[in-house]
A and B are shown apart, each in its own frame.
Chain A
Amino acid sequence: MKKLFFFRGFIVIATTFIFYSLVSFLYLGVLPTESNSFRNWIPNLLNTAGGYGYTLLRLNEAEKATDVDMLFIGSSQVNRGFDVRIFEKNGLEAFNLGTSAQTLFNSYYLLKEYLPTLKPEYVVLDLYWGVAKNDGIEPAIDILSNSDLDQSTLQMVLDLENGTVYNSLFAAYITRLQTPLHEIRQQKFEEFRYVSGGYTESLSTQNELDKEELADIEYQKATIHDLQLAYLQKIIRLCKSHNKKLIFVMTPVTKEYKRKVVNYSSYTSTIARIARENNIPYFDYNERKELSLISSTDFSDMNHLSQSGAEKFDKLFISDLKSSGILNHSLTIQPKQDKQPYAPL
């Protein structure tokens, strides 16, 4: 009886795997890739390779980059807020590893992978509350779809313990059987441009945000997911173990958006406390009046900086780093060669 049960159980598991693989292969490998409508019918076989947010270009470039002074990491607030060209002009070789909706959980695995090769002196970590409450599933799919499926990525997937991410990992393998990662083309987006070094330049015209849109922002509570809090501690330990100077920042959002966060002061106090306990500098740019950002022109939407906003913000950040004595070594401007994105646009 038991033998028959286990034998038949094995048959069911094995044939299910074959059936599942076949469906996945037909869905991802045979259906026309041009037609996005086909791509949405199986919600768990997600593959965002070459998609929104330029993660493909960013991670491909990060694979090749070495020896930077400053590494920015976090969500889209980071890749649309820290313009590496401005830092370069100020003598700082920088790389921006911000990816869409990236949580601290995802940041940890990216840092684990890229700290040894990028060798930054400073790691600038954004702590935007909008992603701190998340579980990190969506950005994990974005990262695994756009990067080599190496040990660090696999570890991230395993640690998430989520069926959709496991399915998407399988989807990534299946997709790459047909098209290797280096042959995947990055999609173009009218409103953003990828800048070598990981920055996403916002091309949206100014005055896009009207009063009605800003008035419609809903009240929200800033919270940190337990998992993210645990991974914040892991990031702190990781940076210490690599002897990297960690800096916490809160990239600015529109004042209207920030006003709708009912517990902003308690959230930022929590971050400040963690920073204090670990002797980490913390800059909250939502609390800085001298930044004087204008919602309608310095933001491309309610919580992302436009190019003009990023320029103002980056200049103040660099000035803060200098005035607070964090940048205490002499850095010479290294003329960079004209960088080309890794994959053709």
Chain B
Amino acid sequence: MLFNSLDFLVFFPTVAALYFLLPYRLRWVLLLIASYTFYMFWRVDYAIILVISTLIDYVCSRMMDRYAESERAKRKPWLWLSLLSNLGILFTFKYYNFFNEAAADLARLLDVPYAAPAFELLLPMGISFYTFQTMSYTIDVYYGRIKAEKHLGIFALFVTFFPQLVAGPIERAGNLLGQLKEKHDFNYQNAANGLKLMAWGLFKKIVIADRLAVMVNHVYNNPTDYEGIPLIIGTVFFAFQIYCDFSGYSDIAIGAAQVMGFRLMENFRRPYFSKSIREFWARWHISLSTWFRDYLYIPLGGNRVVKWRWYYNLFIVFLVSGIWHGANWTFVVWGALHGFYLVFAELTKRRRNAAVDALGLAGRPQTYKVAQIGTTFALVCLAWVFFRANTIGDAWYITTHLFSGLAETAQAIVTNEDGARGNLLYLGQSREIFTIGLLAILVLMLVELAQRSGSLRLAISSYPFPVRVAAYNILIASILLFGSFSESEFIYFQF
């Protein structure tokens, strides 16, 4: 079920109402049924994967719990069983064909016979998210950070909790599992704040992301038809499309959980105001970044190793992050590019600081800050080219033509000969739709600027009720009047 569907508009209030009406002891049953129903709206048969994953991790964690924390050797086989099962499912559905094709290409290159069959498997929605969530659980049980959950129903709910099942935030057992057993009474502030966050998330998804998507697709589905300005606009629009698409989903997920009294972790913290790539990753998809930090980067040694090894660790983590996002070379390059940015930033730290001093930017902190934010955004956008492009060839064409033909495309836009403006500036849409897209981005940026000094939801709460109502009226009416209602899935569902 999609958060931006009419089904969810009926589903969620029903579940939330029943949640508070039912006796406490039955609430987990309701949420478990609701979560499986939510998932099975997409595909009924694929729910079996959720069941298998749940049972394996439940059994493995319970078996690990039978041994004392010091008996790691006895715990280890169960950890491996859990990890291999989860990664095996993930590999089969998501990566098999990718690696199979890569192996076939390599075999062709080396003139070696190779004939592994390809499988036409539909990628289970949200598989990377719930797999990572359960893997973190078994790893935490293994290290004795948490005790294994004895209640199978509660554990199953931890794996499938519908607000964050298909696109995160990737929750840790330490945060969510306990909450699933707590008694949540109806709370006015929680319900009101949750609904506000859901409405804002919907605005980001329907009004910004989906409106921009049409223009982005226009360029990215036929990139070789363009050079210069349309490629730049398309790429910048994609940066906002993916941000609003994914953070919009997270907002709805966090808001929906909050209505029922659950606190999910923050997933985005105004990432496009980051002053460095390192800061960007502390603000973007936080639940995944911290997952990689805790379960890959630190086990690899983190930064407590010799320098070359630290750079290697950084690079590997981002390479794996790229592969996590999708079984395609474009994602691999996207991850590698971010790894390169971080290593390069460390390698050039001194020289960059010297350059800042030489340019006198240190004495002008505001200018310096704007320059940092601008540079970071440009680097992130450059990497997004690889994330969005359909093929590596397309991505290469776009990166090498972003700044070519600028004068020609600018002239064509100004003169508007043969209606060129519609194609090159408005990216196949009308002037009005293009302007609505721009205005929506402006609204987003203004809201995020306002959020720097604290929660905007809290600030709104301090105004008199009629003022608040007017703000809600404008927000909801904007979604209705300016939203794009083609039932588009969230981009991160494919990961």
Interface residues, chain A, with chain B CB atoms under 8 Å away: 1-2, 4-5, 8, 11-12, 15-16, 19-20, 23-24, 37, 40-45, 135, 137, 161-165, 167
Chain B residue with Cβ nearest A2: B186
A12 touches B469 (CB 8 A): yes
Can you name 8 A-B residue pairings with CB atoms under 8 Å?
A1-B187, A20-B473, A37-B432, A44-B480, A44-B482, A163-B480, A163-B483, A164-B485
B480 touches A20 (CB 8 A): yes
Name B's interface SS.
Answer: helix
A23 touches B482 (CB 8 A): no
Q: In the complex, what residues of A have CB within 8 A of residue B436's CB?
A: 41, 43
A16 touches B477 (CB 8 A): yes
How many angstroms from the CA of A162 to the CA of B2 in the assembled complex?
Answer: 13
Name A's interface SS.
Answer: helix
Chain B residue with Cβ nearest A135: B486
Q: In the complex, what residues of B have CB within 8 A of residue A15's CB?
A: 469-470, 473
Q: In the complex, what residues of A have CB within 8 A of residue B480's CB?
A: 20, 44, 163, 167
Q: In the complex, what residues of A have CB within 8 A of residue B109's CB?
A: none
B482 touches A43 (CB 8 A): yes
B188 touches A19 (CB 8 A): no
B433 touches A43 (CB 8 A): yes
From known contacts A2-B186, A5-B188, A19-B477, infer whether A40 and B432 are also in contact, taking CB-CB under 8 Å: yes
Task: Pick the contact of A12: B187, B431, B472, B486 (CB < 8 A).
Answer: B472
B432 touches A41 (CB 8 A): yes
| B: number of interface residues (CB 8 Å) | 29
Residue interface bits B458-495, CB-to-A below 8 A is 1, else 0: 00000001000110111011001111111100000000
Query: Separation in Å of the B222 CB from the closest CB of chain A?
Result: 8
B481 touches A167 (CB 8 A): yes
Task: Pick the contact of A137: B430, B431, B482, B486 (CB < 8 A).
Answer: B486
Query: Separation in Å of the B451 CB from the closest CB of chain A?
Result: 22
Q: In the complex, what residues of A have CB within 8 A of residue B188's CB?
A: 1, 4-5
Task: Pick the contact of A16: B186, B431, B472 (CB < 8 A).
Answer: B472
Q: In the complex, what residues of B have CB within 8 A of residue A11's CB?
A: 469
How many angstroms from the CA of A11 to the CA of B430 in the assembled complex?
Answer: 36
Q: In the complex, what residues of A have CB within 8 A of residue B431's CB?
A: 40
B191 contacts the other chain (Cβ, under 8 Å)? yes
How many angstroms from the CA of A16 to the CA of B470 in the assembled complex?
Answer: 8
B485 touches A163 (CB 8 A): yes
Query: Separation in Å of the A254 CB from the closest CB of chain B?
Result: 22
Chain A residue with Cβ nearest B477: A20
Query: Separation in Å of the B423 CB from the closest CB of chain A?
Result: 14
B192 contacts the other chain (Cβ, under 8 Å)? yes
B430 touches A40 (CB 8 A): yes
How many angstroms from the CA of A163 to the CA of B482 in the assembled complex?
Answer: 10
A16 touches B476 (CB 8 A): yes
Q: In the complex, what residues of A have CB within 8 A of residue B48's CB?
A: none
Q: In the complex, what residues of B have CB within 8 A of residue A163's CB?
A: 6, 206, 480, 483, 485
Chain A residue with Cβ nearest B191: A5
Query: Separation in Å of the A213 CB from the closest CB of chain B?
Result: 14
B481 touches A23 (CB 8 A): yes
Q: In the complex, what residues of A have CB within 8 A of residue B187's CB?
A: 1
Among the interface residues A4, A23, A165, which one has the most CB atoms of the partner chain B within 10 A?
A23
Among the interface residues A1, A11, A12, A161, which one has the most CB atoms of the partner chain B within 10 A?
A12
B481 touches A45 (CB 8 A): yes
Query: Separation in Å of the A12 CB from the closest CB of chain B?
Result: 5
Q: In the complex, what residues of A have CB within 8 A of residue B432's CB?
A: 37, 40-41, 43
Query: Separation in Å of the A144 CB from the closest CB of chain B?
Result: 15
How many angstroms from the CA of A5 to the CA of B192 in the assembled complex?
Answer: 8
How many angstroms from the CA of A4 to the CA of B186 in the assembled complex?
Answer: 12
Query: Separation in Å of the A302 CB from the closest CB of chain B?
Result: 18
How many angstroms from the CA of A40 to the CA of B431 in the assembled complex?
Answer: 9
Q: In the complex, what residues of B have CB within 8 A of residue A45's CB?
A: 481
Chain B residue with Cβ nearest A27: B481
From known contacts A16-B476, A135-B486, infer whether A44 and B186 are also in contact, taking CB-CB under 8 Å: no
Chain B residue with Cβ nearest A12: B472
Counting from the closest, the 9 A-B pairs by CB-CB distance are A163-B485, A40-B432, A19-B473, A164-B485, A20-B477, A16-B476, A1-B188, A16-B473, A161-B6
From known contacts A1-B188, A2-B186, A16-B472, infer whether A42 and B482 are also in contact, taking CB-CB under 8 Å: yes
How many angstroms from the CA of A24 to the CA of B480 in the assembled complex?
Answer: 11
Task: Pick the contact of B473: A1, A12, A44, A161 (CB < 8 A).
Answer: A12
Residue interface bits B184-207, CB-to-A below 8 A is 1, else 0: 001110011000000000000010
How many angstroms from the CA of A23 to the CA of B483 in the assembled complex?
Answer: 15
Query: Separation in Å of the A244 CB from the closest CB of chain B?
Result: 33
How many angstroms from the CA of A164 to the CA of B192 in the assembled complex?
Answer: 27
Task: Pick the contact of A8: B465, B484, B485 (CB < 8 A).
Answer: B465
Q: In the complex, what residues of A have CB within 8 A of residue B487's CB?
A: 135, 162
How many angstroms from the CA of A12 to the CA of B486 in the assembled complex?
Answer: 26
A20 touches B465 (CB 8 A): no
How many angstroms from the CA of A174 to the CA of B432 in the assembled complex?
Answer: 22
Q: With A43-B482, A164-B484 given, can you name 16 additional A-B contacts, CB distance below 8 Å? A: A1-B188, A5-B192, A11-B469, A16-B472, A16-B477, A19-B474, A20-B477, A20-B481, A23-B477, A24-B481, A37-B432, A41-B436, A43-B436, A44-B485, A135-B487, A162-B485
How many angstroms from the CA of A162 to the CA of B486 in the assembled complex?
Answer: 7
| B164-213 interface (Cβ within 8 A of A) | 186-188, 191-192, 206
Task: Pick the contact of A44: B6, B476, B481 (CB < 8 A).
Answer: B481
Residue interface bits B217-232, CB-to-A below 8 A is 1, else 0: 0000000000000000
Q: In the complex, what residues of A have CB within 8 A of residue B191's CB?
A: 5
Query: Separation in Å of the A161 CB from the closest CB of chain B?
Result: 5
Q: In the complex, what residues of B have CB within 8 A of residue A162's CB?
A: 485-487
How many angstroms from the CA of A42 to the CA of B186 in the assembled complex?
Answer: 38
How many angstroms from the CA of A165 to the CA of B485 in the assembled complex?
Answer: 9
From known contacts A4-B188, A5-B191, A5-B192, infer whether A42 and B481 are also in contact, taking CB-CB under 8 Å: yes
B472 touches A1 (CB 8 A): no
Chain A residue with Cβ nearest B199: A12
Q: In the complex, what residues of A have CB within 8 A of residue B481's CB?
A: 20, 23-24, 42-45, 167
Q: In the complex, what residues of A have CB within 8 A of residue B430's CB?
A: 40
Query: Separation in Å of the A160 CB from the closest CB of chain B?
Result: 10
| B268-314 interface (Cβ within 8 A of A) | none
Chain A residue with Cβ nearest B435: A41
How many angstroms from the CA of A16 to the CA of B195 in the assembled complex?
Answer: 15
Q: In the complex, what residues of A have CB within 8 A of residue B192's CB?
A: 5, 8
Query: Separation in Å of the A162 CB from the closest CB of chain B?
Result: 5
Query: Separation in Å of the A33 CB from the closest CB of chain B?
Result: 17
Q: In the complex, what residues of B have CB within 8 A of residue A1's CB?
A: 186-188
How many angstroms from the CA of A15 to the CA of B486 in the assembled complex?
Answer: 26
| B418-469 interface (Cβ within 8 A of A) | 430-433, 436, 465, 469
Task: Pick the contact of B483: A2, A40, A41, A44 (CB < 8 A).
Answer: A44
Among the interface residues B430, B433, B480, which one has the most CB atoms of the partner chain A within 10 A?
B480
Chain B residue with Cβ nearest A218: B222
Among the interface residues A8, A11, A15, A163, which one has the most CB atoms of the partner chain B within 10 A?
A163
Q: In the complex, what residues of A have CB within 8 A of residue B473's CB?
A: 12, 15-16, 19-20
How many angstroms from the CA of A167 to the CA of B479 in the assembled complex?
Answer: 11
